[in-house]
Amino acid sequence: MSLDGKVAIVTGSGRGLGLAYAQELARQGARVVVNDVDAATAAEAVASIEREGGQAVAVVAPVGSSETAKELVRTAVDTYGRLDILVTNAGVLRDTVLWKMSDEAFDTVIDVHLRGTFTCVREAATYMRENEIAGRIICIGSPTGQRGNFGQTNYAAAKAGIVGMVRTWALELKKAGITANAVIPVAATAMTATLPYFAAAVEADAAGEPMPAFYRHDLGFGTSDDVSGLIAFLASDAAANVSGQAIGVGGDRIQLWSHPEPVVTAYREGGWSAEALEAEFADLVGDNLQSVGERFPALPDELQRPRP
C-alpha cells in the first residue's frame, strides 16, 4: 500500500492520536498539513515527520470556523498542489454532569468537534468535487458517541453527530467517488492516563513495554500507533469501496459497528395508545431493552493498582 503523491490534512495533529495519524500517513508517502492551536507543538510535529524523511507543513489555528477550514485546504493546495485526504481529529473535553454543565462547556465541545468536522469536510469535499478527486474523508468518533458515558453530554452529542454526518456524506459524495468513514479509536490518552482501571496499561506504555494482553485483546485498548494503520488504510486506494462505515480499532482488535436497526417490531391495528402500551409493552420488549454506557470486565488481580 502506498500514499505516494497524496496530500492529507489532519486536524488536531500536534500530539497524541492526531500526531500518530499524521506520522503514519507521511510514512506511507503522503505529504501532510499538520494542525494545532499551539505553534511550538505544531512545529515539533512537522519536525518529527521531516526527521523520518516525510514532508509536512503546519497551520496554527483552532478548528471550528469556516475561516480555519478554508486556511487548511488553501495551505494544502498552495503548498502541495492538491488535497486527497482529510482526517478530522481535533477536539477538546469539558466534562461534567448534566446539571453542572454550562452553556460555554457545551458550546465549546460542539464547536470544535461537531462544527469543526462539518466546516472542514464541507471545504475539503467542495475542493475534491470541483477538481474530480476521489478523496478520502475520515472522521474520528468515540465509544462515547456510540454508547454514552457519564459526565460527557457535550462530547457524546458531538461524537454521535459526527457518525450521523458521515452516513449522510457517504450518500452525498458517492457519485463523486469520495468516501466518508468514521473511526472509533480506543487508545491511551491523557484522559485514560488518569483512570486507575487503565494504570497498568499506561505504566507499560510509558516504560516502552507491551501493554498486558488483557488490555490489548480483551478490551481492544492500545496505543495511538495501533489506530494509525486503519487511518492509512481508509486513506488509500485499497479502501475505495468502503464508505459510510463506523469502524472501531484499538490494541489487537478491530470492530465494524452496526448502523442503528430496530431490535423489536410489532403492529397493532388502530395504533398504540398509552393504555395499550401499558398493557403490552413489557411482553413486546421482553429482554431487548438496550444497555447504555460501556461495560468493562473486572481487572485481573495482577493488574490492580491502588487508587491515588
Q: Please give the span between the terminal C-alpha atoms of the chain, in angstroms, as a whole number.
A: 45
Residue type, 116: G
How many Å apart are CA 170 and CA 81, to the nearest integer? Answer: 25
Count of CB atoms situated within 10 Å of the CB of 242:
17
Beta bridge partners of 58: 34
197 among known catalytic residues: no
Q: How far is CA 49 from CA 44, 230, 255, 308, in A?
A: 9, 19, 29, 37
Residue-by-residue DSSP string for 30-67: -EEEEEESSHHHHHHHHHHHHHTT--EEEEE--BTBHH
Q: How many residues does the chain have?
A: 308
Provide the total of helices (H) and of strands (E) in the chain, helices listed first.
11, 8
How many Å apart are CA 245 and CA 183, to the nearest integer? Answer: 8
Active site residue: 155, 197, 215, 267, which one?
A: 155
How many Å apart are CA 156 and CA 159, to the nearest integer? Answer: 5
Strand ranges in 161-221 using DSSP code E only, listed in sequence order: 179-185
What pairing do the DSSP bridges indicate for beta strands 136-140 and 246-250?
unpaired
Q: Which three cell numbers stand for residue 289?
A: 431493552
Count of CB atoms situated within 10 Å of the CB of 164:
14
How many Å apart are CA 16 and CA 185, to the nearest integer? Answer: 12
Q: Which residues are catalytic?
A: 155
